[in-house]
């Protein structure tokens, strides 16, 4: 159940951070954990769980709002009126940024670049329209000039400050373990795009005194999504906290496993493994994933179970961290017209969808 929190768990553990780190409450955290009993039987294992970050916020679920509680607080504290970020044409991050900028009376702007087109990409562009996201379409992010009067958020919000959202999330998981909601996971699977979620979790696991092995699954291009990127961001996040508490432990690199086997070679490209994983978890547990991030991550989890022949991990606790929004926007989408988007991206809606084996809707 959500908690009526006045501050993040990180501030409760390290009180001096409150006066030095910006934060604003944007979501009714904590998110629930759920045992996937049907899939357990199908896979021949006994302890498979999901952390439901799809339910972080009724406005827009997913992992990003955890970062925004720190990043958008920083933008407000510094007096900015406009926030710019970047991503692919179907970026969940850019839609989420616009959603919570609206909540804080900040003007959102998104620099968008090409990616493989799916119905999900089309829907997210329409949501950009709905959330009044100013769209700048480009073939290279670096070509877009920076305005010093605009708060620039790196793609994915993966900065030391933003990553604190997932240091805090690890402490939230620790509380759920202490409450008996879930056993301590032996393995935790999470998507890695800009690497900040994994970096924050890795550091948070150490602070929470959890021995969980973190499986960070590549869903975007190196070097931004790589073992070294996670390690580097975890170190930078630790340095931010260590400025105020020299007792903060360093991230446990030995607990990190980075898996690049399920990426597929192109950002946003649906792979067969991801398509099948999305279908399986929907049919068994009625959980909706997508093929860019969470589908590939769940495919990696399934591959891990299969590779270990079930016998080694039959009684191990495996946690899948669902970072995808699950709010249903279908009614809203039917009322939006792509012609109201910038003309230069109308082709996304006018060209036939590539056949990736996905249901077209």
Report pLDDT digits (tens) over 109-161: 999 999 999 999 999 999 999 999 999 999 887 778 889 999 999 999 999 99
Residue 351: pLDDT over 80: yes
Residue 324 vs residues 62, 152, 289, 320: alpha-carbon distances, Å: 4, 23, 6, 12
> Does this chain's domain 9-63+160-322 share its CATH topology with 64-157?
yes
Residue 359: pLDDT over 70: no
**SS3 letters across 253-305:** HHHEEEECCCCCCCCCCCCHHHHHHHHHHHHHHCCCCCCCCHHHHHHHHHHHH
* Sign, CA torsion 342/347/348/349: positive
Structure confidence at residue 5 as a pLDDT band (50, 70, 90) = confident
Residues 182, 49 contacting (CB under 8 angstroms):
yes
* Phi, psi (degrees; rounded to nearest 5) at 71: -70, -45
Residue 361: pLDDT over 70: no
Residue 360: pLDDT over 50: no
Percent of the chain topping pLDDT 90: 92
Q: Which of 174, 155, 187, 238 lies closest to 12 in space, CA to CA?
A: 174
Residue 27: pLDDT over 60: yes
* Sign, CA torsion 94/95/101/102: positive
Query: Residue 2's pLDDT is what?
Result: 47
The domain defined by 64-157 carries CATH number 3.40.50.1820: no
Q: What is the pLDDT of residues 174-218, one digit of tens each?
A: 999 999 999 999 999 999 999 999 999 999 999 999 999 999 999
The domain locations on the chain are 9-63+160-322, 64-157
Structure pTM? 0.95
* Phi, psi (degrees; rounded to nearest 5) at 140: -150, 125
Cα separation, 94 vs 97, in Å, equals 5
Cα separation, 56 vs 170, in Å, equals 14
Average pLDDT of the chain is: 95
Query: Residue 1's pLDDT is what?
Result: 42
Residue 3: pLDDT over 70: no
Q: What is the pLDDT of residues 284-300, one digit of tens each?
A: 999 999 999 999 999 99
The domain defined by 9-63+160-322 carries CATH number 3.40.50.1100: yes
* Sign, CA torsion 23/26/28/32: negative
HSE on the CB side for 62, CA within 13 Å? 25
Residue 358: pLDDT over 70: no
Query: Residue 62's pLDDT is what?
Result: 97
Residues 351, 338 contacting (CB under 8 angstroms):
no
Cα separation, 326 vs 323, in Å, equals 9
Structure confidence at residue 47 as a pLDDT band (50, 70, 90) = very high
- Those residues whose C-beta lies under 8 Å from the C-beta of residue 161, and which sit 6 or more positions away, are 21, 22, 70, 71, 74, 240
Distance of CA 320 to the CA centre of its chain: 12
Q: Which residues of 113-124 are buried (b: 16+ CB within 10 A; e: fewer)?
A: bebbbbebbbbb
């Amino acid at each position: 159940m959500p908690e009526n929190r006045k501050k993040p768990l990180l501030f409760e553990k390290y009180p001096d951070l409150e006066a030095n780190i910006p934060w604003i409450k944007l979501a009714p955290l904590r998110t629930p954990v759920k045992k996937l009993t049907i899939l357990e039987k199908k896979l021949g294992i006994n302890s498979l769980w999901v952390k439901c970050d799809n339910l972080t916020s009724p406005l827009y679920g997913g992992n990003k709002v955890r970062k925004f509680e720190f990043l958008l607080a920083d933008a407000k504290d510094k007096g900015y009126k406009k926030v710019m970020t970047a991503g692919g044409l179907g970026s969940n991050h850019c839609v989420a940024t616009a959603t919570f900028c609206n909540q804080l009376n900040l003007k959102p702007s998104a620099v968008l670049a090409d990616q493989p087109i799916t119905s999900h990409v089309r829907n997210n562009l329409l949501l950009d329209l709905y959330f009044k996201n100013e769209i700048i379409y480009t073939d290279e992010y670096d070509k877009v000039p920076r305005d010093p009067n605009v708060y620039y958020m790196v793609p994915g919000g993966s900065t030391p400050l933003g990553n604190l959202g997932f240091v805090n999330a690890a402490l939230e998981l620790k509380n759920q373990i202490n409450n008996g909601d879930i056993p301590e996971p032996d393995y935790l699977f999470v998507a890695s795009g800009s690497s900040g979620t994994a970096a924050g979790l890795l550091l948070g696991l150490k602070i929470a005194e959890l021995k969980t092995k973190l499986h960070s699954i590549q869903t975007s291009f190196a070097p931004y999504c790589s073992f070294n990127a996670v390690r580097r961001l975890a170190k930078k996040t630790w340095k931010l906290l260590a400025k105020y508490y020299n007792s903060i432990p360093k991230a446990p690199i030995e607990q990190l496993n980075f898996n690049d086997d399920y990426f597929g070679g192109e950002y946003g490209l649906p792979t067969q493994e991801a398509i099948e994983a999305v279908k399986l978890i929907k049919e068994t547990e009625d959980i909706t994933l997508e093929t860019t991030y969470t589908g590939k991550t769940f495919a990696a989890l399934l591959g891990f179970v299969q590779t270990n022949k079930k016998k080694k991990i039959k009684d191990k606790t495996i946690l899948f961290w669902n970072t995808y929004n699950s709010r249903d926007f279908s009614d809203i989408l039917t009322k939006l017209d792509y012609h109201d988007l910038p003309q230069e991206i109308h082709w996304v809606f006018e060209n036939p969808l590539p056949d990736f084996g996905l249901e077209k809707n």
